[in-house]
Every structure is written in structure tokens, then in C-alpha cells.
Amino acid sequence: MQLMGRLRAAGLAIVFLAAALLSGCDHLPANDCKDHDGRADWQALLMRQDFDALEQQLDGLQQRYEQGGITDLQLRSAWQGFDDLPPQAGGALDAWVARRPASYFARLARGYHHRSQAAAMRDGQWARVKQELRLAGEDAQASLPLRRTPVLSLDLLLDVAGRACDRKALDEYQALAKAYAPGSARLLAPRSQAFPGHCAHVRAQAASGPG
């Protein structure tokens, strides 16, 4: 039983490593993923709960994207800093959302953190993974109406649905992506379609018990 548990955990780790690579920049041309925003240390600002300075920087980056100064892929590359937050950042993110519930950036950043928490679970605890993915999806959904061009919200929704192998949600979010961001087809491609065997592994994890 211990051996089977280790094998399931190793399999889940491989699934999320591959999904992380596919949602990142490793499979894209270097120029599409170059970080052009010149940002300060967002993590330090977050942990100090200096939300004014943090939102000012994020808004500047978002405006550059909306004005055509950077691509959607470069925007996502810049935001990957929120995928690397330590677990204890959850408290600061909750405080940010509580203080500014209508902030696009607060909701999106917390959604990124929930996704990274799901990806960090290596022990086969599928129920906990699903919970973190659900929370990531809820924050991404909440952020959608808060910005004129919420491409990163759509990207996060598609990624979460792909990791959970939720075909119904993938179809729904793909339709939303076409409506919100018809010019971002490459960024907003469904993730699970790019990783053969992912859905089979997810089904096996779900069938193995609550975890």
C-alpha cells in the first residue's frame, strides 16, 4: 500500500510539473516570454501589505498590455511571480482581497496562489488539490468583470479546468475566451489537450479515494 501511495504521488507530481511547463513559457519563443515590466519585488510589497504600491505597479503593467506595449504572453510571464509565493503569503492575499474586494489584481493574485498550492501537493491528496483548484477558479471568476481585458483571468480559468480535466468547464471558458479576447487564441488554448494522459491520471486519482 505504501508503494502504491508513493507511485500515485509521483504520478501526480509529474502531472503538475508538465502542466506548469505548459502554462508557462518553456514551450514558447523567447521574445514572447521576455519580462518587460521592470517591476520591483512584488512579493516583498505583498508581504508588507503595501497594497497601494503593489496595485500601482500592476496597473501600470496592465495598462501597457491594454495599450499594445507588451503581448499577452509577456503579461503572463510577468505575473508568474505570483506562482512562486510561499504558503504563508495566503494571509496577505486574504487581507488584500478583504481590503479591496473589487480589485482585479487582488483576486487574480490569490487565484494564482491557490493554483500554485495545488501544484505543490506531491502526496496524492487529490481532495486537497481539488479544493485549491476550486478556490483558484472562484477568484478567477470573480476577477473577470473587474477589468476590460481580463486575459489572465481567462488563462487561469482554462488552466484550472485543464488541471482538473473538467471538459464542461473547458468548453464554457473557451467560449468566454472567444468573446472576451478573440485575439489571444494562443495564450488561451486549453491546457489538458496539450498533455496526453493527463485526464486518465486525474480520473485514477479521483478513483483512488478522498486522499
CATH at residue 54: 1.25.40
pLDDT tens by residue, 75-100: 999 998 898 899 999 999 999 999 99
First vs last C-alpha separation in the chain: 13
Q: pTM, whole model, 2 decimals?
A: 0.78
Q: How far apart are CA 187 and CA 144, in angstroms?
A: 16
Name the least confident of 43-57, 131-145, 169-183, 193-207. 193-207
Q: Compute the half-sphere exposure of residue 31: CA atoms within 13 Å on the CB side of its CA.
A: 0
Residue pLDDT, tens place only, 106-134? 999 999 999 999 988 765 678 888 999 99
Rounded mean pLDDT of 152-170? 91
What are the phi and psi torsion angles at 12 (to 5°)?
Answer: -65, -40
Over residues 36-89, the pLDDT tens digits come to 444 448 999 999 999 999 999 999 999 999 999 999 999 999 998 898 899 999
pLDDT for res 193: 55
- Please state, in angstroms and rounded to a whole number, the distance separating the CA atoms of residues 130 and 59: 31
With bands split at pLDDT 50, 70 and 90, how would you rate the model's confidence at 143?
very high
- pLDDT tens per residue, range 19-31: 443 444 443 444 4
In this structure, what DSSP letter does residue 146 have? G
CA distance 44 to 60: 18
Q: What average pLDDT does the segment 133-156 reach?
A: 95
- Asked if residue 116 lies in contact with residue 110, where contact means CB atoms within 8 angstroms, the answer is no
Mean pLDDT, rounded, for 179-208: 74
Distance CA 150, CA 143 (A): 8
The pLDDT score that the predictor gives to residue 39 is 47
For the beta carbon of residue 190, count every other beta carbon within 10 angstroms.
Answer: 17
Amino acid 26: pLDDT: 41
Q: How many domains does the chain have?
A: 1
- According to the model, what pLDDT value does residue 10 have? 41
pLDDT at 156 over 80: yes
15, 199 contact by CB (below 8 A) = no
What is the residue range of 31's domain? 2-207
**What's the pLDDT score for residue 35?**
46
- Residue 70 region, left (φ>0) first, then alpha (ψ -120 to 50), else beta? beta
Which of the pair, 25 or 102, is modelled with greater confidence?
A: 102
**Between 152 and 24, the higher pLDDT residue:** 152
